[in-house]
Amino acid sequence: MTKAEIVEDIAAKTGLTKKEIAEAVDQFLKTVSDALAEGKHLEIRGFGTFKVKQRKARIARNPRTGEPAPVPERRVPVFKVSKELKDLVAAQKQPTSTPQ
């Protein structure tokens, strides 16, 4: 599923135009990423929580040469799925289409 399909579906169910919906969807994504970039978390009840985690610096290895490669401290965005969404997904019968 893509953004276009989401916009299409919402347009079919509401009186809003695709243009209005597309703008709101873009702003949705921008607002979430802006909040994360500011180090804020966003909790959406029944769906999940977007937050930022601090990863410590560590020494990794170049898998090809085996040489140590230092990885600096960094922050990464994470999404913690709500219990409701986990249960909803686990309740499905059929296997996933493409496990990629």
Q: Assess 95 for contact with another protein (CB under 8 A).
A: yes
β-strands 68-71, 58-61 pairing: antiparallel
Binding residue (CB under 8 A) for another protein from 18, 39, 61, 69: 39
The smaller minimum CB distance to another protein, of residues 69 and 88, is found at 88
What is the enclosing helix (H) or strand (E) of 32?
Answer: helix 18-37
Burial grade of 32 (CB within 10 A; 0-12, 13-18, 19 or more):
middle
* Residue ranges that bind another protein, judged by CB under 8 A: 1-3, 5-6, 9-10, 13-14, 16, 20-21, 23-25, 27-29, 31-33, 35-48, 51-54, 74-79, 81, 85-86, 88-92, 94-100
